[in-house]
Amino acid sequence: MDVLVICVPVFAVLGLGKLLGIKGRITEAHCSFINWLVYTFSLPALIINEVARQRFDTFLDPAVVVIPIIGVFLITGISMVIAKVNRYRGGFAAAFVYGTFWGNATYVGFPLCQNAFGSEGLAKAAIYNGFVVPVFILTGYVIIGLYGAGSGETRFITRIKTAVLNPILLSALFGIGVALVGEQVRTPEGELMLPTAMTSSLSLISSFLKMIGTMGLPLALLSIGASLKWEQTRSHLGALTWTVGAKLILFPLLVFLMVRFLCPGSSREALGVSVILSSVPSAVAMYVISCQLGVERGFVSSMLVLSTALSVITIPVWVYVVTGI
């Protein structure tokens, strides 16, 4: 029942978004506006609010930052070998490789981590999103370049700059900076030694940021649900089986095993957040970027739909594993 309470609301809102999309109540224009609003304002507000309130030493957790990045490089190397053996080329090979790790850690992962571990889980998810998700994007661009894929006119350096200087990463860094300043006036018990007027002002700001931030999660899920479209899903079943299977099962399994054996002292929340965010389905941003660069739209769309549909089964299993430890 705990797993159902964590997972069902997330997938129910996704389903509602799909239904509203079918009925024409949520159009592509609506999805575009929602994505802009959530990406530019809502998620940064949520991240700043949750990260800034944490103890600074909680950010120095290799289970949340280092291990998932190692997992990205491992799964990328394995997939590149498989692509070479099967003689995949160009955009298809690029999508085949980066689809194994590039997940929707923000829009789908945040609600799951919040439901599973509360505010601490949300704060760790913000750290993961601030430092690991840019690695997803950077590695994806590098892979596209390596395979000579993409027809976009944007220069490679411009893409890298866009990937690094994004609101998610910047808000995480800002929140960490605020937390570091807060450590200078924090008591050993964790309380802030500040004048009453300043404490009240900070509470007011925090309430505003929380309101702006929490509205974005259900909106993002509605947008994702409305954006899902079945397109060429029956094509390239062999490649899709590996890519989707690696994304939903192998990648989180690698992260789980590495955290357990390389970081045995990690907290339950750190392990859970790292595994859950590594097990989420393919990112909508991956589809958008692939379309912009002319990289196998049909294959990427099929990957997005299948991984989202199958994650209804796999994510509850991973949630059960990490919350039962």
Average pLDDT, integer, range 199-221: 84
Write down the pTM of the prediction.
0.75
| pLDDT of the residue at 51 | 74
Please work out, in degrees rounded to the nearest 5, the angle formed at the alpha carbon of residue 31 by the alpha carbons of 26 and 32: 145
Mean pLDDT value across the chain: 82
Domains within the chain, CATH numbers bracketed = 2-323 (1.20.1530)
Q: Is the model's pLDDT at 58 over the cut of 90?
A: no
| pLDDT of the residue at 3 | 75
Q: Is the model's pLDDT at 231 over the cut of 70?
A: no
Q: Is the model's pLDDT at 177 over the cut of 50?
A: yes
